[in-house]
Amino acid sequence: DICANFQITTDLDIINARFDNICYRPGNPEDAIDICSKMCIEAVNSNVITFSDSKVSLIYLQDAIEALYQLSIVSEHESSSYRIDSGDFLDMEAMAEIIREKIGGDIQFNCVEKTEYIWVENNSVTDYDKEFPFRVFQTSEQCTVRIADYISRHASRFKDKEEIIEFMNSTTFSEF
């Protein structure tokens, strides 16, 4: 609403882009800010994958950049706020299965109840794909495979370090 009001009062084309679940291959544990990377690192370090019983739409970083570029080159926008995601939803248990397959070993699942949040529906937010033609190059499943495969191949970078365990313990997975 702030962007919309600013846009009206200044007569400038101001936009707000909200990306849901951007993911990418992390270079180190501190870069692992997306749910998929966190689940992979948890699997590597504790042979457990914690997830909620919900679905997630992952968008790979390069796809997000392309969407933002397409949004930025348009001279006029129909909305001041856009929600950008892949439009491809993956059950988190299916994501955990892919991760277990790629990481290997005897990995246990820990399905937790999703935390309920108070959600204020913002009717001024427009789904990006309603106004712009958009096709992702990486589906949610492909993102998961790509990240899990990378972390599996570079497990020593993400494994058994005290700061990783402390970082993972400070993160709540039920928020996803």
The residue among 116, 50, 59 whose CA lies nearest residue 90 is: 59
Q: Indicate whether 111 pLDDT > 50.
A: yes
Q: Residue 62 above 60 pLDDT?
A: yes
Alpha-carbon distance of 28 to 155, in angstroms, equals 10
pLDDT value of position 8 = 78
SS3 139: coil
Bigger pLDDT: 72 vs 176: 72
pLDDT of residue 169: 58
Structure tokens at 69: 């570029």
CA distance 174 to 176: 5
Average pLDDT of the residues in 114-129: 54
Q: How confident is the model at residue 167 (pLDDT cuts 50, 70, 90)?
A: low
DSSP state string for 45-89? HHSEEEEESSEE--EEHHHHHHHHHHHHT-S--S-SEEEE--S--
Q: What is the pTM of this model?
A: 0.79
Average pLDDT along the chain: 82
Cβ 105 vs Cβ 46: under 8 Å: no
| pLDDT(174) > 90 | no
> What is the pLDDT confidence band of residue 105, given thresholds at 50, 70 and 90?
confident
More confident residue, 166 or 28: 28
The β-bridge relationship of strands 81-84 and 125-127 is parallel
